[in-house]
Copies of this chain bind each other. A is one copy, B any other.
Amino acid sequence: MSKQVKIGIDLGGTRIKIGLVDKKGKVFLRREVDTPSSSSRSVIIDTIVKNLEATIKDAGLKKKDVACIGIGVPGPVDSRRGIVHYFPNIKGWNNVPLKAILERRLRIRVSLDNDVNAMALAEYTFGAGKGARNLVCLTLGTGVGGGIIINGKVYRGSTMLAGEIGHIPLNEKGPRCNCRGIACLERYIGNRYILKRARKSFGRNITLESLSGLARKGNKRAEAIWLDVAKKLSVALTAVINLLNPDMIIIGGGVSKAGDLILRPLRKELKVRPMKGQALHVKIARAKLGGDAGIIGASLLA
């Protein structure tokens, strides 16, 4: 299998995942470590290199057997030049030529993109989006991220910043977002805002898991919160659907674990709010590849 092996790296704010991925998108060997916290950039890079080399060794391979490495990272990048602009949740990464750094240390070709583009590519190629031509993938978590596939390719935009579904405004006026925008989707359904609303409604701290559990048992207050998340999401997705007329919207990320609590009311709204032709065509699907999407997508970047 020499020179057939692709490696995908999913650099997250809390975990670094490394996997050997075969041609069919199966991860046949994986390694996962904590992202060094309170650390400098070089510690994270050292951790990536060390664990990557260990993974290759574990597989009984040599570096020269590896065709290429892809890495998906949690923030905006210049994927053509392989430069990290910055990470919203990891300090000290401003304009880092990560591709060049890794290539120099590893002597293997490296490709770089942001994690949501990698996920979109994985779901398009091997997951929920198989058979679609144009799709939009979103991740619901701390932030609300988006990746766009157009005519089978990641659409990155003119300065590689496309896909910011989390920053579609839901209202003319409303709360200020971290991005400096007003009334952005993320400002309503980013997980901290859901948690805040739950705390207010229940008078105590409550996890997203409990909120889902309560809603599934029929708790009206919990149900109301998920229903509102779905409705807010449907407004932004109406914009996406009317504008892009995609085959499919794929939803992943931690918050999407609420599953049908979000998807059922979301599908209902998206049958009636977007324009008819677009609404009849688009499918709303849950991401299929779960925690492996990042690794698989990264392996497809090269």
A133, A167, A232, A243: residue with the most chain B Cβ atoms closer than 10 Å: A243
In the assembly, what is the distance between CA of A178 and CA of B273, in Å? 12
- Any chain B CB within 8 A of the CB of A190? no
- Any chain B CB within 8 A of the CB of A208? no
- Any chain B CB within 8 A of the CB of A302? no
**When the two chains form their complex, are residues A247 and B168 in contact, meaning their CB atoms are under 8 A apart?**
no
In the assembly, what is the distance between CA of A102 and CA of B194, in Å? 57
**When the two chains form their complex, are residues B281 and A158 in contact, meaning their CB atoms are under 8 A apart?**
yes
Q: Residue-by-residue, is A260-292 near B (CB-CB < 8 Å gives 1, otherwise 0)?
A: 000000000000111111100110000000000
**When the two chains form their complex, are residues A159 and B245 in contact, meaning their CB atoms are under 8 A apart?**
yes
Q: Which of B134, B157, B161, B170 is A172 in contact with, Cβ under 8 Å?
A: B170
Residues on B with beta carbons closer than 8 Å to the beta carbon of A157: 134, 244-246, 278
Q: Which residue of B lies closest to A278 (CB)?
A: B161
- Any chain B CB within 8 A of the CB of A181? yes
Given the known interface contacts A158-B247, A181-B238, A245-B157, the answer about A275 and B167 at a Cβ–Cβ threshold of 8 Å is yes
Minimum Cβ distance to chain B for residue A301 (Å) = 18
- Any chain B CB within 8 A of the CB of A169? yes
Size bracket, chain A contacts = 35 or more
In the assembly, what is the distance between CA of A244 and CA of B168, in Å? 11
**When the two chains form their complex, are residues B180 and A272 in contact, meaning their CB atoms are under 8 A apart?**
yes
**When the two chains form their complex, are residues B274 and A181 in contact, meaning their CB atoms are under 8 A apart?**
yes
Minimum Cβ distance to chain B for residue A113 (Å) = 14
**When the two chains form their complex, are residues B277 and A159 in contact, meaning their CB atoms are under 8 A apart?**
yes
In the assembly, what is the distance between CA of A231 and CA of B171, in Å? 12
**When the two chains form their complex, are residues B161 and A133 in contact, meaning their CB atoms are under 8 A apart?**
no
List, sorted by A's number, 26 A–B pairs whose CB atoms are closer than 8 Å.
A76-B277, A85-B277, A134-B157, A158-B246, A158-B247, A159-B277, A161-B245, A161-B275, A161-B277, A161-B278, A164-B243, A164-B278, A167-B238, A167-B274, A168-B239, A169-B170, A169-B235, A169-B239, A171-B171, A171-B172, A172-B235, A180-B276, A181-B273, A182-B273, A239-B243, A243-B244
